[in-house]
Structure 1
Amino acid sequence: YPKKIKPPELAAFPISPSEGNGKRALLCQARGMYPDLVKFMWKDQAGNEVKLSDTEELLEQRDEGQEVRVTSMLIIDQQKARSNTFTCSVQHEDKVDNIKIPAGNQS
């Protein structure tokens, strides 16, 4: 019988990459959802989709363990991160959830 749709649990946090080269990584993770397909979109403070420059990248990683976890990682310029609050928007089925990540000044 069909499994019930289960929305993802979201978590988001900034991390400082160890090599520190002026970059900051923002992580957005969705887990435990069914079906396990999610689509991530990153937006800046103004609500615009983040356009990546040459020095920035967007990575996605999928882990299948007890539950599926999909993580989107936005690697951006620290200067840009400092002055912006980013929103990670996660679409699952026909529902979209937003979670804010204060990029802030944490060292």
Structure 2
Amino acid sequence: MATQLVQDHLTLTRRTGQSISISCGGTGPCYDEYTFWYQKKETETFKIIFRYHKSSCAIMNRYDHPQKNDFSSEKIQNGCSLKIENVREDHSASYYCGCWKSGSGSHTVKKPEVTVCPVKTEGRVEGDTALMCLASAMYPPLVRISWKRQKGSKEEPAPAEEKQQELSGSKSSAVIRLVKNETLYNYEYICEVQHEGVKTETPTAESKL
């Protein structure tokens, strides 16, 4: 269960090149010693930036955020803050801190169950296959899903021109990718799921709907 934390500054504006700090407090009810920072840009899903220790403010996991080297954690009087030393236009977003509320039961990390399969989608056109990678039943419920492909021994990221849809819920996350059928004949697509610093790779067999 999520708990409400305290962010003193809801709107901050800085010029390009300046620094900015966003505070996060009220972490007492968190069930363990860790808190998370997230970034939310318009038209995009939430992206986790890093996990940090709520007492020391030390960063524990940076995950795979595309701007991960731009962010740092800073200890302040009433908690910790997210700091950007050199602000750029592409940092424009909403930033949230969050943790999981303590309860009567114990909490342990549970790795995700990963399912990779073709699915039917409304946007699929003739000659395309929609591949879904679904991660579910994990704890904490925060994962990062990405696709890559392999031909023989050569491995490479899935091409940027392929359309992709991201879906997320309270207990599961999924990424659906549209791939040309002819491409599936030449490449094996692999779903990579990152959870709590551990990566799991699941390949998909060539198939069409």
Q: With the length of structure 1 as denominator, give the TM-score of the two structures.
A: 0.82
Q: Which position in structure 2 is the counterpart of 1:85?
A: 188
Q: 2:189 aligned with 1:57, yes or no?
A: no
Give the secondary structure class of the aligned counterpart of 2:155.
coil
Q: 1:84·1:102 contact (CA, 8 Å) conserved in 2?
A: no
Amino acid at match of 1:100: P
Query: Among the aligned pairs, what percent are the same residue?
Result: 25
Amino acid at match of 1:29: L
Aligned length: 101
Q: With the length of structure 2 as denominator, give the TM-score of the two structures.
A: 0.44
Structure 2 spans left out of the alignment, 5+ residues: 1-30, 33-106
Larger fraction in strand = 1
**1:44-95 deviation per Cα after TM superposition (whole angstroms, max 9, x unaligned):** 1132111222xx211111133xxx1111111121211222211000000110
Relative contact order higher in (CA < 8 Å, ≥ 6 apart): 1
Give the secondary structure class of the aligned counterpart of 2:133.
strand
* RMSD between superposed Cα atoms in Å: 1.8
Structure 1 spans left out of the alignment, 5+ residues: none
Question: Computing the radius of gyration over CA atoms, which structure comes out larger, 1 or 2?
Answer: 2
Q: Which position in structure 1 is the counterpart of 2:143?
A: 38
Give the secondary structure class of the aligned counterpart of 1:47.
strand
